[in-house]
Copies of this chain bind each other. A is one copy, B any other.
Amino acid sequence: MSEFEVLGSEVQWNGKFLRAGVERFRHRDGEQVSREKVWHAGAVGIVAVDEQNVWLTRQPREVVGADASLEIPAGKLDAPGESPLQTAKRELAEEIGKRAGSWKQLFAFYTSPGFTDERVWLFLATELSDSGPAEADENERIEVVRWPLKRLDAAISECEDSKTLIALLWLAARDRLT
């Protein structure tokens, strides 16, 4: 049994891919609380590695004023009926021009569970091969970066994106994680 129940959800703003509003809850001890909430469809991120490199991107992130944010390939879950793994496969081909022979889910986490239900599924993609050119139309500002694993520390220092920090720190720690 859950520690609280949802009393009601009130969407007060409808964007194209976000909604915002207030949700009310009642805890088992009777206390009622309200939480501001941003509804989000979720996203995937891909840790694409070969023996020597991890495949990254640079792209503008206008919302935070970043000209060229260093990030793993990623994308929103915006195709109806598509699973996170299917989205990850599609995004790896579109953004990087690669396919992977092996896929493994590493994490599923909330980017900021205090106010948004955005969840990110993070996959490890290995046994990479070319799948054709990256699709230029919607990705024309996405630069593909082949980053040497021996310079992983420098990527961790530069990165300001949570899903990418999780990916890079996982790579740095993977030998000692079970």
Residues of A within 8 A of B (CB): 2-4, 12-13, 15-18, 20-23, 25, 27, 33, 35-38, 40, 43, 60-69, 76, 107-120, 141, 153, 156, 159-163, 165-166, 169-170, 172-173, 176-178
Contacts and interface: CB of A to CB of B under 8 A. Distances in A.
A126 B163 CA distance: 26
Given A16-B36, A169-B166, A169-B169, A62 B25 contact: yes
Nearest to A67: B3
Number of copies of this chain in the oligomer? 2
A3 B107 CA distance: 33
A22 B13 CA distance: 11
A34 to B, nearest CB: 9
B63 A35 contact: yes
Given A4-B60, A63-B116, A64-B117, 6 more contacts: A20-B20, A25-B62, A40-B112, A63-B117, A113-B161, A162-B166
